[in-house]
A and B are shown apart, each in its own frame.
Chain A
Amino acid sequence: MPSLILEPDRLALKPEPIPAKKNPWYLNPYLHVGLTVLLSAIAQILFKVGSDQTPGGSLLGFASLKSGVIWLGIGCMIGSLLVWLQALRSLPLIIAFNLAAATQVVVPLGCWLFLGEEVSVLRWIGVFVVTVGVIIIAKPLAKLEERL
C-alpha cells in the first residue's frame, strides 16, 4: 500500500523519463559469457588438482570421482553451464563460443599462478594471439551495443 502522505522532496523532482527499453545489467549476455569463462577456468584447474590426487585412473576417469576437489569442479561446471545457457538466449552460438575462447587465456594464467606449471615464452605468445582473436570478434559487437 503506497503511503498517502506526500513527500515534498519527491514532488520537487521532475517526472521520470520513460526508460529506454534496455535490459538490466544482469541480463547482459556478455556478462554471462564472462562468468562462464571464469567458472569453467576454475573448474578446469580443480579437475587437474583432483585428477592428480587420484593417479592410475580408469579408462573414463571414474576413479577421479573419489576426490572432493573434482566435485567442487563439477559444481563450478554446472554453474558455468547455467550462465552459458542464458548467454545462448540472445547470442549466436559461434559468437558466444569464440568469446568464451578467453578461457584459453585464463586457464594457462591460472595454471602458472596456482599450479606452478611452467609456461614458456612461446606459449605466452600463443595466449596473446588468442586474446587478439577474441578482441577481433568482440569489437564490432561492442560497437553494435553502443548504437543500440
Chain B
Amino acid sequence: MTLFFFLLLMASTSSSVAGQVCFKRAMSDVMPEKPRDRAFWIGAGLIGATAGFFFWLAILPHFPLSYIYPIEAIDRIMLAVAASVFLQERLTPRLLLGIGVITGGTVLVSVT
C-alpha cells in the first residue's frame, strides 16, 4: 500500500463517516427535524456517502477485495468518536469492548 492509496482510503473513510453522522441527524427520533432540515441532512449524508463511494471505487481494482475491505476498520474508530462528539451518543464499556474486538479482528484480516 503506497502513500497515495493510503490517502485515498482516508478520504473515502472520512467522507463516509461524515455521511453517516448526517444520516443519523436526519433520521433521529430524539432530535426531530423539520422536513426541510431533514432533507438537508439526508442530502449532506448522500454527498458524503457518494464521495466516499467514488474514492472507494478508485481503490478497489488495485487490491483483492478480501484484503482491502476490512481496512475500513479505521472508520469504526472515527465513527465512534464522531457519534459521541456530534450526536452525544453514549459509549458504554461493553460497546467499547465490542468495537475493540471488531477492530482487532478486522486488522487481523488485513495483515494476513
Contacts and interface: CB of A to CB of B under 8 A. Distances in A.
A84 B23 contact: yes
Interface string A26-62: 0000000000000000001101100110110111111
B73 to A, nearest CB: 8
A20 interface: no
A93 interface: yes
Give the dominant DSSP class at A's interface.
helix
A104 B41 CA distance: 27
Contacts, number: 156
B6 interface: no
Contacts of A51: 57, 60-61
- Chain B, interface size category, equals 35 or more
A52 B89 contact: no
A122 interface: yes
A24 B89 CA distance: 26
B39 interface: no
Interface residues of A, number: 54
Interface of B: 20-21, 23-24, 26-29, 42, 49, 53-58, 60-61, 64-66, 69-70, 76, 79-80, 83-84, 87, 89-91, 94-95, 97-110, 112
Q: Which 3 A-B pairs have the closest CB atoms?
A: A129-B105, A61-B57, A126-B108
